[in-house]
């Protein structure tokens, strides 16, 4: 199975800050990577697919990059509604696997 490792596990930031989250795959997955946002008590929301393609309706302050084993999710200017937990997921092969999550908290 492909292991996905996210860092940091949590980050404290203020509104307007630039936030970057890293995801590393245990083996190369080309660009088969997705990102999700989850708020407390809610189901995950699909943000990014193919490492860098924004899902329809997702604000442009979200961006993704990377290929192979190393990927990043960047929020260019953090908004109040962005405080949440973010997960990466490899879509290269089954079983699908998720990173452990990164909680973005208010500083």
Partner 1 sequence: EVQLVESGGGLVQPGRSLRLSCAASGFTFDDYAMHWVRQTPGKGLEWVSGLSWNSVSLGYAESVKGRFTISRDNAKNSLYLHMNSLRPEDTALYYCAKESSRRAARTIDYWGQGTLVTVSS
Least distance CB 87 / partner 1 (angstroms) = 6
CA angle 46, 3, 24 (to 5 degrees): 70
Distance CA 102, CA 107 (A): 15
Q: What whole-number distance in Å separates Cα of residue 14 and Cα of residue 35?
A: 21
Angstrom distance (rounded) from CA 4 to CA 78: 24
**Cα angle value 99/10/17 (rounded, 5°):** 115
Q: How far is the CB of 31 from partner 1 (least distance, A)?
A: 12
State the minimum distance, in angstroms, from the CB of residue 100 to partner 1: 5
Q: Which parts of 19-78 interact with partner 1 (CB under 8 A)?
A: 32, 34, 36, 43-44, 46, 49, 55
Q: Which is nearer to partner 1, 27 or 77 (CB)?
A: 27
The number of residues that bind partner 1 (CB under 8 A) is 22
Reduced to 3 states (helix: H, G, I; strand: E, B; else coil), residue 9 is coil
> Minimum Å distance from CB 79 to partner 1?
22
1 counts as binding partner 1 under rule CB under 8 A: yes
List of residues contacting partner 1 (CB under 8 A) = 1, 32, 34, 36, 43-44, 46, 49, 55, 87, 89, 91-101
């Amino acid at each position: 199975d492909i292991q996905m490792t996210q860092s940091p596990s949590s980050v404290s930031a203020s509104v307007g800050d630039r936030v970057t989250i890293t995801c590393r795959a245990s083996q190369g997955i080309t660009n088969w990577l997705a990102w999700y946002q989850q708020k407390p008590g809610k189901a995950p929301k699909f943000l990014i697919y193919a490492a860098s393609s924004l899902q329809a309706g997702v604000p442009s302050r979200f961006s993704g990059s990377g290929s192979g084993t190393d990927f990043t999710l960047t929020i260019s200017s953090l908004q109040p509604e962005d405080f949440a937990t973010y997960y990466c997921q490899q879509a290269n092969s089954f079983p699908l696997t998720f990173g452990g999550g990164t909680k973005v908290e208010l500083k």
